[in-house]
Chains A and B, each alone.
Chain A
């Protein structure tokens, strides 16, 4: 079969993707296999339907939003580089090679991961989690199990706790502060088994 770099040649721009995302060649190959497995009709790209076939994802209350994170509003197809770039957010932190300040913040840094989580709330991408957006997420996570009043009160409480400048919405910095003690690096990472 040859060395791993020759099988990496199956993946277009493999080396470049490795540098960009920080995934090792072996992990990139595994992800490529997964991509091809999800791409059942061998189109070379994924569509939202392919994600919807993952049963655990459809059962996940925020599953629809996670799928949305892969497919921004205008795009209906997802090619492998884009797939991997988003998954790069979930690479474990701590093994980052030293980089100079001119390079953009890696996707899997604490801030990168927090940004991903923030986007799950902030659907209209205006940089703030409004009361409505919070309510929507709560509705997704709680469904019909709680009453509308309970939902409202939970949302109200959450905003009051996090909203430091009292503008009625949670900005990214307020979000970051609210989660400052949470072990994001560990809880939002996908670790490959050896």
Chain B
């Protein structure tokens, strides 16, 4: 009689052995067994098939909602042309303001309300196809039986096989981090200690990356951030840290938390200097900046990792960089991170999901495929101010990563529409209204002279 309990125990042991030997150990040494490569290829094939099916299904149902690619006419002329047309009736020498000018801006404003060129940045990217995850299923209805069968299979695989595996890996990885850094922390300061600490960090992050089934492609590795520099990247999710730390060691910057995060943070601090702030310290910008500056000046210390957007964005664009990070000095190493949305939506919408449910969602997606581009280092130029430098870096990152370079602030608060964004429009308009500065400021013509 075979005892079901012992069978279960044996199965579990076997599974644990497989996990350790085939996943954890190779991960720690950065060796890939090629399984994930094959997995990704199969996934791509399946998703393409699913897309074709859905498109075919859509053609047969003519009333289905299509993503709006352009629903209204936009007045195509430049500001100057449009204003001229509005003023067509005016006397020719009146290059100045007329009451009808506001209509141009009014029309543009209303057009943008009905349809704007920038799709919502704070909600998840709408996919043109369906990647067999219900969570991205916003517009798709039942198409065919085969597709549904595949979806059910997908659910079983993801929640039954992949999720427990990944959770186990994540637990192992974090446990290893805490243990490893605590042990290394006992050693006296020496280069051996630094080397060991880097090793521990790297291996832990590699395990965690496997725990998310993350396939990361690094580009331009020669531009990797060096010691004493500041690494700057666009922010989509807390997983960005894991993604970047897989290929190098960084000093993290952030607020010290309580609970499990706090334990991890404190043990990390034992083995190498990270910069954790108390909540009260965060408010004092000078204290923060001087601490960061002190760290950067020490050329032996690891590069700092900062996300200047200050918040998670949905990875289709880059928002305004807060200039505080760029006032510290030192060399900036920009990094662009782009997630492939076909395999899973990596964006953390912190108003919708808390950290734990977000991580569970991540671990039950198909995979995470990321492209990381290291850009050449940049420094602040003579006479350039921090805000301008910040936007220069931002443009470089947006260009490299294929993201939209947006000029507005992720922390835009209600009630006050920021004036600085309108400057471009104001400049254009004023050049039309005040011609070449030739209008003497006090000139007031005699009224109604030709009526």
Contact = CB atoms under 8 A, between A and B. Distances in A.
Interface stretch (B82-90, B236-244, B299-307, B359-367): B82-90
Contacts of B439: 150, 153
A189 B74 CA distance: 10
Given A1-B64, A149-B441, A56 B97 contact: no
Nearest to B427: A145
B425 A61 contact: yes
Contact of A190 (B88, B97, B110, B423): B110
Given A149-B442, A193-B71, A55 B103 contact: no
B421 interface: yes
Interface residues of B, number: 74
Interface in B104-144: 104-118, 120-123
B146 interface: no
Contacts of B443: 153
Given A62-B109, A193-B71, A55 B407 contact: yes
Contacts of B97: 138, 154, 157-158
Contacts of B418: 58
A18 interface: no
Contacts of B105: 60-62, 141
Contact of A53 (B98, B412, B434): B412
B106 A160 contact: no
Interface in B375-429: 406-408, 412, 414-415, 417-419, 421-427, 429
Contact of B103 (A117, A143, A144): A117
Given A56-B118, A157-B444, A160-B447, A187 B103 contact: yes
A86 to B, nearest CB: 9
B114 A61 contact: no
B189 interface: no
Interface string A34-60: 100100110000011101111111111
Interface string A167-182: 0001000010011111
A62 B419 CA distance: 11
A104 to B, nearest CB: 21
Interface string A60-88: 11111011000000000000000000010
Interface string A124-149: 00000000000001101111111101
B111 to A, nearest CB: 6
B426 to A, nearest CB: 4
Residue from A3, A41, A60, A147 having most chain B Cβ neighbours under 10 A: A60
Nearest to B404: A55
A66 B102 CA distance: 11
Nearest to B126: A37
Given A7-B63, A142-B430, A188 B115 contact: no
A33 interface: yes
Given A61-B429, A143-B426, A147-B441, A56 B117 contact: yes
Contact of B89 (A52, A150, A181): A181
A193 B73 contact: yes
B436 to A, nearest CB: 13
A191 B426 CA distance: 26
Interface of B: 61-65, 68, 70-73, 75, 82, 85-89, 96-118, 120-123, 351, 406-408, 412, 414-415, 417-419, 421-427, 429-431, 433-434, 439, 441-445, 447-448
9 contacts: A53-B121, A56-B112, A59-B407, A60-B422, A66-B106, A66-B109, A66-B110, A143-B423, A145-B431
Interface of A: 1-4, 7, 30-31, 33-34, 37, 40-41, 47-49, 51-64, 66-67, 87, 90, 116-117, 120-121, 137-138, 140-147, 149-150, 153-154, 156-158, 160-162, 170, 175, 178-184, 187-193
The 6 closest A-B pairs by CB, nearest first: A181-B89, A1-B63, A143-B426, A145-B430, A56-B112, A149-B441
